[in-house]
Each structure stands twice: as C-alpha cells, then as structure tokens.
Amino acid sequence: MPAARRHHIGDFTASFAPLIHLIESPGVLGYDEVQLYTSSEDGDRVLRTTLSFDTAATSSNRIHIESEVYHQQIIGFGSTFSDASALVVNQLSNAAKQNAIDAYFSPKGAEYTLGRVPMGTTDFSTRQYSYDEVSDDFDLEHFSLADEDLKYKIPLMKAAKEVSNIDISLFGSPWLAPSWMRDFANGRMALKGESNGKYYDTWAKYYVKFVEAYNTQNVDLWGLSVQNEPNAGYGRLANLPNFTMAYTPQLQRDFIKFNLGPALQSNNITKDLKLIIMDDQRDFASIWADAIFGDEEANSYSDGIGVQWYSDSAYSTAALGSIHKKHPSKFIIGTEAGFGFNKEIAGCWDRAEQYAYDIISDVNKFVAGWVDMNLFVDSNGGPNQSWT
C-alpha cells in the first residue's frame, strides 16, 4: 500500500492559532451562584461571569425543575478525526498543536466526548486508499491500516485522550470499500454481487478487522456507522472519488441482519459496539428508521440512527421527534456538519451561529450527540479531494 503523499497545506497557524481560546475554570461556586460563559460577535470569547440567584420571596426569576420528565441521555459532542484534521494539526509547532488539542479535549477547553473515525479514505483525504487493495482477498489476509491511521489519526486520538478527563466515544464510519469490492453501474456506486453474497460477507468482516486493528493500537471504539451518506451513492455524486456507496433502506436492513450484525456479534471485541444506521440527511430519516428498526432481526443489531446537517435548512426537525416517538429505545446522533470545501474565514460569526442553531434545534428534538466533519482544516478548507 503506498504511503500518504505529501500535500500542500494552506496556512493554519497565522490565521487560526491566535483564535484558539482556553476556558477559565469555574472554580468553587456558592450554592446560589452560577457561571455564565459568553462569546459574542463583538469579540468576547468564552468570557466568564459569575451570577447570583435572587433568593428573596419576591423574586420574579424562578427556575422550575420538572424532575419526573425525562428526555434523551446525551452521548456527547465532538468532531471527526479526519485525514485533513490530522495532517493540518501536525503542521503546527509543538506548543500550538498542544494548545489546539487542549482547546477541544481538555478541562481547559470544550471537553469533546464524541469522535468520528473514517474507515479509510474520505473526501477530506489527499488520496484514495483502502486497507486491502489485493484483488479477491475475500479472507482479508492482506488487511492493514494505512499511514494516515498509524502516523496521523491514531496519534491525534491518543493525544486527545491523554488530556481528557472524560472518556471519548469513538465511532467508525466507512466511505468506500476497496476498489475490487465495488462497482459503478446503473447510476450507483455499490458493492458487487447480490445482497448477502460473498462481497457483502467480506465487507462485514472488514468492519471487524478495522476495529481489531485499532484495538491493537490501544484505541477502542464505542460504535460503528454502517455507511456514510448511503443516499448520495446514487446519481451525480456516486462516481466521484472518495465519496460514498449506495444503499436503499431495504438493502442496508438486509446487510445488517444477514452480514454485519452477525459478524459483529460473533467477535468479542466488536459484540458490544453501538451500530448506527443511515448516517445521511434527515429528510430521509423516518423512512430508514421504519425500514430497519421495524425489522425484528435488523433492529436487534441496531442501536441508533445518524443524521447529517446538509439539508437541515430545507427540512424541519419534525422527523426527528417522530422517530423518537416511534422508536424510543434508539438514539439519534448528528454525525456530520460542515461547510464543504469552502475556504475558512477566521472568526466567522455567521458559521458559529449556524452551528449553534442546528445543535439547539436537534437537541430539542431528542438528538443525543452532534459531530462535525473536521477538527481542523487549513485556510483553504482542506486538504481535500474536491468533488466539484
């Protein structure tokens, strides 16, 4: 397998490193005190203010806690340990790199507790690759992690875990199978062969191999997404490099119950992983939830549904509430958000507001976690493989 090629990375340190702000600890608070952290368009960045409750009986400011009303249990918030993220942060000085990691994961920062881990190549990689490009290796005897994992992503994950006081839940997510396992035909990029055939069996083993390989590197996963953006595997986006593979809800249902679910359950390392279905835009979410959670066998292997944010401005959160009502034992998690390959704008308040609005709207409709696409990108919005 070829090594990761050198890639020009735009300026990060000059534009963005000065904008990293660590959070001042709240310290010991009195029983009637709260601390407010404020960031504003005017320039405040996690500005700490101590406030006191008015305990007088005449106070008009009251907080009523409905202790018997329960909503979702929050899994966490975080980002993706993408190839781009790891390549960019490695360009920083040691001090700046540590500051950036602290700002995301340490008690001095945002304390991210959720991380997405691409299973091989993505659109935010510098090349197309997989973990086994030996044709017809159905037993995956030649499976091996790439330089991107061993030299960049895994060291970044370990650095994050080292500064965190909280467990970071990591979940794997595949974009593409090895080239010999997939084909573009009839307007879609998909696995070769019939459903439940040998390619589907081998693809299920690939997930197990991935988790095992990370386990040998002392990185344990919390979960797996079945497929990044399975709806986008059809049409114009399907034959673009490093994008995705197509599934219908019914095809993914069958893959879970006949191949992936049994493969994960038969292995001691993978049997307790959380399995996330769909991992695509929320306008399709109800259809996917009903198709997979409504099937007894597929449902028994599935734990939650992943939704991405790219169509959120066009579709309401009503579908999320409907999914929770019909399938209350399944979690909903926001698996990807971002601004595509657009150039980064240092201190862009509009983008911060879009993130905040989406997170609040999702959490109000039972979303239990939210992850964006990259921890770090350069000033050009990469490195990436542009698909425009």
User: Could you give the domains of the chain?
Assistant: 76-374 (3.20.20.80)
What would the pLDDT profile of 182-198 be if each residue is shown by its tens digit? 998 888 899 999 999 99
Residue given tokens 């599935």 in the structure block: 302
Query: Out of 229, 296, 344, 353, which one is annotated catalytic?
Result: 229
Residue 149 is predicted with a pLDDT of: 98
CA distances from 277 to 182, 239, 283, 378 (A): 20, 22, 14, 31
Residue 5 has pLDDT above 60, yes or no: no
Count other C-beta atoms under 10 Å from residue 33's C-beta: 12
162 is catalytic: no
Query: Out of 111, 148, 336, 344, which one is annotated catalytic?
Result: 336
Q: Are 142 and 134 in contact (CB under 8 A)?
A: yes
Residue 240 is predicted with a pLDDT of: 67
What would the pLDDT profile of 24-47 be if each residue is shown by its tens digit? 888 889 988 989 999 898 888 889
Residue 380 has pLDDT above 90, yes or no: no
Residue 239 is predicted with a pLDDT of: 66
- Residue 373 and residue 343: Cα distance in Å, rounded? 14
Residue 3 is predicted with a pLDDT of: 36
What would the pLDDT profile of 66-125 be if each residue is shown by its tens digit? 889 889 999 999 999 999 999 999 999 999 999 999 999 999 999 999 999 999 999 999
In this prediction the pTM is 0.92
Q: Is 276 helix (H, G, I), strand (E, B) or coil?
A: strand
229 is catalytic: yes
Residue 342 has pLDDT above 90, yes or no: no
